[in-house]
C-alpha cells in the first residue's frame, strides 16, 4: 500500500481519527480540502461523521488522484440530474474529472465521475474522450507541454 503526504502522522493533525477505505490514517485538514474540492461550498458545514464517511469511501490513491493539480489533465463530463439514459437533446452541466482518477480506475470515466462527484453515473450524458482540460475547464491544447501526466 502506498503512503501519501496526508497519511504521514508526523506531517499534520490526526485528532479526528479519519481513515481511508483501507484503514490508513488521513490528516484532518486534508479531508476538509478533499470535500471542498469534491462538493465545494456545499461541504462548508459538514459534520465530523460526513467527513469520516467521505474518507472511508475512498482509498488514499483515489484521494491523491482527486487532489491532482488543477493544471494536470482533466476529462470534461456532461451530466444532467434529470437524465437516466436514452437520447438527450438538452444542455447539461459540466464537471472536470481528474485524468489521474480515470487512469487509476483503468480508464473507466463513468466510475471516476461517480467517485469524484458522488453522483450516480446514470446521470452522465457524455464526455469528451479526445480532448483534455485543466481543472478550471480551459482546454489543454498540447498535452506534451501540459503538466506531467498523472497516474
Asked whether 50 and 82 are in contact (CB, 8 A), the reply is: no
- Residue 85 has a pLDDT of 86
Prediction pTM value? 0.84
Q: Is the pLDDT of residue 144 over 80?
A: no
User: pLDDT-derived band of residue 86, with 50, 70 and 90 as boundaries?
Assistant: confident
Domain boundaries, the chain: 5-66, 74-140
pLDDT (tens digit per residue) in 104-143: 999 999 999 999 999 999 999 999 888 999 999 999 976 5
- Residue 91 has a pLDDT of 87
Amino acid at each position: 500500500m502506498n503512503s501519501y503526504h496526508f497519511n504521514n502522522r508526523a506531517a499534520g493533525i490526526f485528532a479526528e481519527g479519519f481513515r481511508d477505505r483501507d484503514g490508513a490514517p488521513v490528516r484532518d485538514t486534508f479531508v476538509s480540502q478533499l470535500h471542498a474540492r469534491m462538493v465545494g461550498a456545499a461541504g462548508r458545514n459538514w459534520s465530523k461523521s460526513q467527513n469520516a464517511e467521505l474518507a472511508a469511501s475512498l482509498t488514499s490513491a483515489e484521494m491523491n488522484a482527486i487532489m491532482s493539480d488543477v493544471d494536470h489533465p482533466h476529462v470534461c463530463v456532461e451530466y444532467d440530474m434529470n437524465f437516466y439514459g436514452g437520447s438527450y437533446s438538452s444542455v447539461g452541466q459540466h464537471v472536470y474529472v481528474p485524468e489521474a482518477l480515470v487512469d487509476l480506475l483503468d480508464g473507466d470515466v463513468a466510475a471516476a465521475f461517480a467517485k469524484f462527484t458522488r453522483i450516480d453515473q446514470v446521470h452522465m450524458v457524455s464526455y469528451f474522450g479526445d480532448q483534455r482540460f485543466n481543472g478550471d475547464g480551459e482546454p489543454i491544447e498540447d498535452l506534451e507541454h501540459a503538466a506531467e501526466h498523472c497516474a
